[in-house]
Amino acid sequence: MRAVSSRMRGPSNGWPTRPARAYLPRQDGVVCTVINGFAESAPCHRFRGLRDAAAGCAEPTYQVKLLLDPATVLDAEGAPLAGPAAALRLAGAVRFESAQYVDDERLSLAAQRWIIRMRRDGDEDRIRLTYKTRFAIEGDGADPAAVQRALDIASTVNFGANDTNYAPQVNLGYARATLDFCNKKREPAPHLAPGELPGPEASRALARDRMPGKLRRWSPKPPGWAESVAANSLVYGPVRQTSHGGRLLGRDLEMQVTPLRTGPGEPPWFAEITAKAATLREAVDLRSDLIAALRPQGWLLEREAFKTDLILAPRPRP
């Protein structure tokens, strides 16, 4: 396990204070937002959860994803610097994970909003295989109506409340939001070394053999399309990621570091933090509070933390 670097860059002062929030429902259809004793009114639907959404729509979980600046939070080897590590309360064992994606040279699956991902922890005896489809949410995800529209669109292609094979999740990035549906499977890996993932040929076969019915019968494409893409796919990766559990603003979080450049001439690391929320309102507030805490320290990279877009880059067939 690599020790946390003792170097520190950027300011070391405490977190900025933010006004305490409370939401007091009123009978006239307005929510009264109380900030340090001063009340502001907003339409009730702006903060209402999606539990009373249209019948048949899936009920998602919520996650906030923000990108950290590797130049100010990591050392040259990708280990957290002492200052950020202390502020984020990074503690416990560091987990190592390998990850790779399967798609063809033209990224045909990604063009249809599908992702096939394989993951494995260093000491895990199985491969975690995920088939994910992603729907865009208009705006930054703060508007419940925009989230509901994405759920409505998903339900038209049979991603609804009755399908328990897919776990729906709303991801709130810096200024972008998505609605993801994930079908997760596990595959034994008896002949692979610790942390190793299958090679190209075995990955193609695994992606095709365990493919769920929704992808096999993806209606915008002819029968057999997805199997054909999988059979002629490339492996994007693998990348080896490290995960650190932490806590900030009274919330559990995870910091994940991946050897991956976020832009030309920048450090070769992708550092993100993720945190869970129970409702959309909670996720929106959590995102705002995390941004307000990280930005003054110089630790926030004001871009989107959607790592798959960077890993899935076109490249020549090997």
Alpha carbons 248 and 252: distance in angstroms, whole number: 7
The alpha helices in 56-170, defined as continuous H runs, are 70-73, 82-87, 108-111, 144-156
For domain 61-134+168-311, the CATH superfamily is Hypothetical Protein Pfu-838710-001 (2.40.320.10)
Q: Is the pLDDT of residue 309 over 50?
A: yes
Q: In this predicted model, what pLDDT tens digit does every residue of 60-76 receive, in sequence order?
A: 999 999 999 999 999 99
- Look at 34-43, 110-119, 234-243, 303-312 and tell me which has the smallest mean pLDDT: 34-43
Q: In this predicted model, what pLDDT tens digit does every residue of 113-124 receive, in sequence order?
A: 999 999 998 878
Alpha carbons 98 and 195: distance in angstroms, whole number: 6
Three-state secondary structure along 120-133?
EECCCCEEEEEEEE
As a whole number, mean pLDDT of residues 228-242 equals 94
* Two structure tokens written together for 85: 């590590």
pTM (2 decimals)? Answer: 0.81
Locate tokens 């009340």: which residue? 39
pLDDT at 4: 41
As a whole number, mean pLDDT of residues 155-180 equals 94
3 state SS of 42: strand
As a whole number, mean pLDDT of residues 167-186 equals 97
pLDDT at 32: 34
pLDDT at 191: 87
Confidence tier at 134 by pLDDT (50, 70, 90): very high
Q: Which of 79, 84, 131, 7 is nearest to 259 (CA)?
A: 79
Q: Is the pLDDT of residue 26 over 60?
A: no
The two beta strands, 167-172 and 61-68, are parallel
Q: How do the domains of the chain map onto residue ranges?
A: 61-134+168-311
Residue count (the chain): 318
Mean pLDDT for all residues in the chain? 83
The two beta strands, 21-25 and 30-35, are antiparallel
